[in-house]
Chains A and B, each alone.
Chain A
Amino acid sequence: MVKLRGAAVLAAAALALSACGSGGGSDTPSPSGTQPRVLKLWHYESADSAMGKAWAEAIKKFEASHPNVTVKFEEKGFEQIQKTASMVLNSDEAPDIMEYNKGNATSGLLSKQGLLTDLSEEVTKRGWDKLLPGGLQTTARYDDRGVMGTGKWFGVPNYGEFVMVYYNKELFDKHKVAVPTTYEEFTAALDTFVKAGVTPISNAGAEYPAQQIFYQLALTKAQKPWLEAFQSYKGKVDFHGPEFTYGADTFADWVKKGYIAKNSAGLKAEDMGVAFMNGKFPIVISGSWWYGRFASEIKDFEWGHFLFPGATMSPGSSGNLWVVPEKSENKDLAYDFIDITMTKDIQNLLGNSGGVPVAADPAAITDAKSKELIETFNKLTTSDGLAFYPDWPAPGYYDVMVAGVQELINGSKTSAQVLDELAKPYEDNLADIGN
Chain B
Amino acid sequence: MRVRTSGRRGYWLYLIPSLLLFLAVIVVPFLMNVGASFTRWSGVGTPRWIGLDNYTRLLADERFWQSFQHNVGLIVAMAVVPTAIGLVLAAALFDYIGKRFGTRTASALRAMYYLPQVLPVAVAGVVWGWMLHPSYGAVNQIFGLDLDWLGDPDLALATVMGIMVWFQLGYPVVIFMAGLQRVDPSYYEAAEIDGASWWRKFWHITIPQIRPEIFVVLLTCTIAALKVFGPIFVLTRGGPGNATMVPSYFSYLNFFQKSNVGYGSAIATVLALIIIVVTFLFLRVQERES
Contacts and interface: CB of A to CB of B under 8 A. Distances in A.
Interface of A: 1-2, 82-83, 86-87, 90, 105, 109, 112-115, 205-207, 261-268, 270-271, 275, 280, 395-396, 398-399, 402-403, 406-407, 409-410, 412-413
Given A206-B239, A403-B239, A413-B241, A395 B258 contact: yes
9 contacts: A205-B239, A263-B152, A265-B152, A266-B240, A267-B151, A275-B135, A395-B257, A403-B238, A409-B240
B256 A83 contact: yes
Contacts of A266: 132, 134, 148-152, 156, 236, 239-240
Residue among B126, B236, B237 with most chain A CB within 10 A: B237
A127 to B, nearest CB: 32
Contacts of A271: 129, 133
Nearest to B36: A1
A1 B32 contact: yes
Nearest to B152: A410
Contact of A115 (B44, B129, B151, B254): B44
Given A82-B256, A266-B149, A87 B236 contact: no
A431 B45 CA distance: 22
Interface in B19-33: 32
Contacts of A114: 44-45
B36 to A, nearest CB: 8
Nearest to B151: A266
A83 B253 CA distance: 11
Interface string B253-286: 1101111100000000000000000000000000
Contact of B241 (A86, A90, A270, A412): A412
Contacts, number: 109
Nearest to B125: A268
A205 B156 CA distance: 14
B242 interface: yes
A410 B44 contact: no
A261 B43 CA distance: 42
A87 B257 CA distance: 14
- Chain B interface size band reads 20 to 34
Given A266-B148, A266-B150, A410 B42 contact: no
Residue of B150, B241, B257 contacting most chain A CB atoms (<10 Å): B241
A112 B135 CA distance: 46
B179 interface: no
A410 B241 contact: yes
Contact of A396 (B129, B149, B257): B257
Contact of A86 (B32, B43, B254): B43
Contacts of B149: 266
A278 to B, nearest CB: 9
Interface in B97-135: 126, 129, 132-135
A113 B238 contact: no
A207 B129 CA distance: 13
Given A105-B258, A407-B241, A87 B43 contact: yes
Interface in B201-230: none
B42 A205 contact: no
A10 B240 CA distance: 50
A101 to B, nearest CB: 12
Contact of A205 (B133, B240, B256): B240
A403 B253 contact: no
B153 interface: yes
B45 to A, nearest CB: 6
A263 B238 contact: no
B257 A105 contact: yes
Contacts of A410: 151-153, 240-241
A116 to B, nearest CB: 12
Contacts of B237: 206-207, 399, 402
A82 B43 CA distance: 14
B151 A265 contact: yes
Given A206-B239, A399-B237, A413-B241, A265 B148 contact: yes
A90 B148 contact: no
Contacts of A409: 151, 240
B257 A86 contact: no
Nearest to B261: A86
A87 B135 CA distance: 43
4 closest pairs, A vs B, by CB? A266-B151, A266-B150, A265-B151, A263-B134
Given A205-B151, A268-B129, A263 B42 contact: no
A228 B236 CA distance: 32
Nearest to A82: B256
Contacts of A395: 257-260
B50 to A, nearest CB: 10
B257 A265 contact: no
B32 to A, nearest CB: 6
Contacts of A263: 134-135, 148, 151-152
Contacts of A83: 256
B220 to A, nearest CB: 26
Contacts of A113: 42-45
Given A261-B135, A267-B151, A206 B242 contact: no
Interface in B39-77: 42-45, 47
